[in-house]
Structure 1
Amino acid sequence: MPEEKFEQPRFCARCGQPIVVARAQFCKSCGAPVARFRLLRADPGFNPIVALVLSIIPGLGQMYRGKVFRGVLWFFGVSIAYGSSPILGFFIHLICASNAAFAGAIREDVLVGPSAR
């Protein structure tokens, strides 16, 4: 497997040692996460920003991702929440939008330390 080139040299934020492996997620010296990592997957199969914007209409972001049944459930759930209380509806709507944008797009491997693997 060929090594990737770095745009800039990377160093550990905790111990200052150079990160020499191109796709390293943790420092080999101290185990700390490397200073520069991406929280979102490189290719989740959809555009999280588009899903977030489409979620202005509840459930439309889930439908964009191909989860039609979940989109319909979110639409009715948010509508019922808005009907009972505008504040509750707003918070449920935020949860709906964040679910459409980030469910399946967040990399779990950067959230778990090297000792848990």
Structure 2
Amino acid sequence: MTYETKRCPFCAEGINRDAIKCKHCGEMLYANTQATHTAQNHTVVMRYRRWSPGVAALLSFFIPGVGQMYKGDVGTGIAWLIVTYIGYFLLIIPGLILHLICIITAASGDPYK
């Protein structure tokens, strides 16, 4: 059986070009990744998502803005922290609304775009 091959980025063994999982090392090749192929040298460039939306939301639930900091957006996280605490200081309702918005924005979006 002949088929086009490529190298596994984890163990460097030859695998089927359309493979989703390496048959040699068992690593998933395209889970939470973006892959691009270049025609001349068949290089695979992979980018992993290094954050979890659930963890980001949970962190922002306990401390507003920490979920954004966890995603790597420190400036936005500090701004959410300050604005949410000001909302709580002024009145409880604006603080709760800002806190909920902070949790939702921590769990959404892609900081790698």
Shorter-chain TM range is 0.5 to 0.7
CA distance in 2, matches of 1:82, 1:92: 9
Amino acid paired to 2:102: C
Quick check: which one's strand share is greater? 2
TM-score using structure 2 length: 0.53
Which structure's CA Rg is the greater one? 2
* Identical-pair percentage: 38
Match of 1:83 among 75, 80, 89: 89
Give the total of aligned pairs: 69
Greater relative CO (CA pairs within 8 A, separation 6+): 1
Q: How many Å separate the matches in 1 of 2:77 and 2:100? A: 14
* Dislocated runs of 4+, deviation >3 Å: 1-4, 42-45
TM-score (norm 1): 0.52
| Residue 73 of structure 1 pairs with residue 67 of structure 2 | no
Q: What does residue 70 of structure 2 align with? A: 64
Out of 49, 54, 57, the residue aligned to residue 54 of structure 2 is: 49
Q: Which runs of 5+ in 2 are unaligned?
A: 1-16, 21-31, 34-48
